[in-house]
Amino acid sequence: MAAVCLMGAFTACDDEDNTNDFNALSRTYEGKSIELKLGEVTIPNGGKSVVLNASAADKAQLTLTNILPENSSLTVDATLASTNDTYTLTGEAATTDGSVTVNGTVKAGVLSLSCQRKVTHPVAGTWQLASGAAAVTAEIVTGMPQIDALAPMVGPLLGNLIAQKVSTVTLSLSESGIFGVAWQKIDASEPVSINQYTEMFSIQYCVKEGVYYLCIDKNYVEVLGQVLTQFAGDKMAELGIDFEQIVALFTDLGGYYGLALNMEVADNQVLFTADKSLLLPVINAVSPLISQKVPEAYQPLVNQLMQILPNAQALSLGLRFTK
């Protein structure tokens, strides 16, 4: 009888322990204690974390930090369930440009979390670069009549130059947030696509307050900087190109760098525009390279433009796409 009573006491203790096991889940998961996927791709966990707060055996709250490009910090209410030694988590939350669904497990102190973005902004979809002169828009106001008189010709000229090189340019902005682009040269039978690489490295896009961002994980940018410095550092120095200057063109989005473009979506058209704040740093960064590539006959004109554009009253370039 004593043994039976003792066994009952142990069973009661075990039941109580199992009921309260969820309390041990509440902590910050980062570094080696976290495995992350965004869509179908495993992404680096450097600089990223998830704070898990389990308030009951079937309820938890997740705070995602630097995992999503559109929200550097996002709270997700999740359902919690346990099977043997594994807890599962499922939840969904609204983001700035749509929603995100999370599914994960916690086992042996490691959180494996998959986040599936869903972009509901009208820019999501497949777009084709407008044909000919309509493809490029340009606004240049320098205050110099002789220069400004030629400015309206810049957009159509660039658009027609593109049309002479490629027959199509396809921009893919998937609902899952992956950026992709493909183009077909005039004399080619097959298009060239970088989509497999943007998927492999999870190159994302997002929309915040009407601004479009092309987003790259900071971990990849850091590796790229190391590779360029090691294998092309001398050449970059020779051309006067500084990797830090390139990084400075991007907006800090937490776990990502985002290249910001103004955007207008209407009537099955989207216009992406780079304004003076982006174009001038680009011009400054590539001007040494441009000076080396431009034929000598055009060098005086290029030098004049490089001196004029920084003081331009208005400066923008845009690409127009249609559905």
Q: Is residue 238 part of a domain?
A: yes
Whether 262 and 310 map to the same domain: the answer is: yes
Cα angle 82, 37, 57 (rounded to 5 degrees) comes to: 20
Whether 221 and 84 map to the same domain: the answer is: no
Q: Is residue 269 part of a domain?
A: yes
Q: Is residue 180 part of a domain?
A: no
Whether 167 and 37 map to the same domain: the answer is: no
Q: Is residue 6 part of a domain?
A: no
Whether 53 and 151 map to the same domain: the answer is: no
CA separation (Å) from 128 to 86, 109, 168, 205, 263? 47, 47, 7, 17, 16
Whether 35 and 159 map to the same domain: the answer is: no
Number of domains in the chain: 2
SS (H, E, C) 145-202: HHHHCCHHHHHHHHHHHHHHHEEEEEEEECCCCEEEEEEEECCCCCCEECHHHHHHCC
Q: Which two tokens stand for residue 131?
A: 């044909």
Q: Tell me: the pLDDT tens digits for 198-236?
A: 999 999 999 999 999 999 999 999 999 898 888 887 877
* CA 292 centroid distance within chain: 32
Q: Which two tokens stand for residue 86?
A: 């594994």
Beta bridge partners of 115: 38, 102
Non-local CB neighbours of 43 within 8 Å, separated by 6+ positions: 36, 37, 67, 202, 217, 219
Q: Is residue 277 part of a domain?
A: yes
Give which of 217, 163, 171, 213 is closest to 194, Cα–Cα. Answer: 171
Whether 161 and 85 map to the same domain: the answer is: no
Q: Which of 86, 119, 152 is the last residue of a domain?
A: 119
Whether 104 and 69 map to the same domain: the answer is: yes
Whether 132 and 53 map to the same domain: the answer is: no
- Dihedral (Cα; 117, 118, 120, 126), 10-degree rounding: 100
Residue numbers of the domain that contains 223 = 125-171+207-322
Q: Tell me: the pLDDT tens digits for 241-257?
A: 778 888 988 999 999 99
3 state SS of 307: helix
Q: Is residue 186 part of a domain?
A: no
Q: Is residue 160 part of a domain?
A: yes
pTM, to two decimals: 0.86
Whether 90 and 28 map to the same domain: the answer is: yes
Give, for all 323 residues of the chain, the pLDDT tens digit. Answer: 444 444 444 444 444 344 457 889 999 999 999 999 999 999 999 999 999 999 999 999 999 999 999 999 999 999 999 988 899 999 999 999 999 999 999 999 999 999 999 999 999 999 999 999 999 999 999 998 988 888 899 899 999 999 999 999 999 999 999 999 999 999 999 999 999 999 999 999 999 999 999 999 999 999 998 988 888 878 777 766 778 888 988 999 999 999 999 999 999 999 999 999 899 888 777 676 666 666 677 677 677 777 888 889 999 999 999 99
Q: Is residue 9 part of a domain?
A: no
Whether 260 and 148 map to the same domain: the answer is: yes
Whether 92 and 151 map to the same domain: the answer is: no
Q: Which of 98, 119, 140 is the last residue of a domain?
A: 119
Whether 81 and 230 map to the same domain: the answer is: no
Phi, psi of 83 (to 5 degrees): -140, 115
